[in-house]
């Protein structure tokens, strides 16, 4: 996410990973896959999201990258659906009331209990139609990327098994929906923004595993 005004992501990384260009840069080729079973995604209505403060733009074009984030919040041991709902409310309140954004910045959120929730308004409808509900999760790159927020801070600690398994399933679903090659499409926030630790050193180091496991689901 955009770290300029996001206080919970004040940590910076002196040396970043691969810095990607914009949508005119590294654009993965579209692929065809058999349908992948999507994760159970809890809708905005189910977690009682606030309405956006202004209409959300939905582009007719699909994203070309999936950006992995961490929330830089506590690594809670409350793995319940109730906590997942609290997380989504916290993110939305922060983004709207502190950052001044129209809505939650990310399109999808995964809790440490492995629950997947819709973030920005219209995200699920857009995915179902091969389109992109434009978010505010990666500065200057939101017109061609879709973002997944993963609950927790993964600078030195690892994710839960439940979260990572849901992340694999979610990435496979998105790659299938948009015809993306997981090896080209799945990136970390720091690949675009070198002044951030997001998604944390530990989760970032697991992105090759994430790509491998996503590819395995797509070829199953």
Beta strands per DSSP E along 111-215 = 116-118, 132-133, 145-150, 186-188
pLDDT confidence tier of residue 31, bands split at 50, 70 and 90 = confident
66, pLDDT greater than 90: yes
Q: What is the DSSP letter of 195?
A: T
Q: Report the pLDDT value the prediction gives residue 35, as an integer from 0 to 100.
A: 80
**Cβ burial 206-220 (10 Å sphere, 16+ → b, else e):** bbeebbebbbebbee
Beta strands per DSSP E along the chain = 41-42, 58-59, 65-70, 108-110, 116-118, 132-133, 145-150, 186-188
CB contact at 8 A, 107 and 138: no
Peptide bond before residue 156 is cis, with ω within 30 degrees of 0:
no
| Stretch 41-64: mean pLDDT | 98
1, pLDDT greater than 50: no
pLDDT confidence tier of residue 27, bands split at 50, 70 and 90 = low
Q: Report the pLDDT value the prediction gives residue 2, as an integer from 0 to 100.
A: 37
Instruction: Give per-residue pLDDT as tens, 167-211.
Output: 999 999 999 999 999 999 999 999 999 999 999 999 999 999 999
pTM: 0.88
**Least confident among 7-21, 138-152, 173-187, 193-207:** 7-21
Query: Where in the chain are the domains?
Result: 7-19+29-219
CATH number of 7-19+29-219: 3.40.80.10
């Amino acid at each position: 996410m955009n770290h300029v005004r996001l206080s919970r992501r004040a940590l910076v990384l002196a040396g970043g990973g691969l810095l990607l260009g914009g949508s005119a840069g590294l654009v993965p080729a579209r692929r065809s896959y058999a349908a992948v079973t999507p994760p159970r995604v809890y809708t905005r209505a189910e977690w009682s999201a606030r309405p956006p403060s202004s209409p959300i733009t939905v582009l007719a074009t699909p994203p070309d990258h999936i950006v992995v984030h961490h929330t830089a919040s506590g690594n809670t041991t409350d793995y319940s659906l109730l906590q997942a709902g609290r997380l989504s409310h916290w993110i939305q309140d922060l983004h709207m009331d502190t950052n001044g954004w129209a809505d939650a910045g990310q399109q999808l959120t995964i809790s440490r209990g492995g629950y997947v929730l819709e973030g920005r308004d219209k995200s699920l409808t857009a995915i179902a139609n091969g389109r992109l509900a434009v978010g505010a999760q990666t500065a200057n790159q939101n017109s061609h990327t879709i973002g997944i927020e993963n609950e927790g801070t993964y600078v030195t600690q690892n994710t839960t098994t439940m979260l990572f398994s849901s992340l694999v399933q979610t990435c496979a679903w998105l790659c299938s929906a948009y015809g993306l090659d997981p090896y080209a499409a799945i990136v970390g926030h720091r690949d675009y923004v070198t002044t951030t630790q997001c998604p944390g050193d530990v989760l970032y180091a697991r992105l090759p595993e994430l790509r491998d496991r996503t590819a395995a689901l797509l070829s199953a």
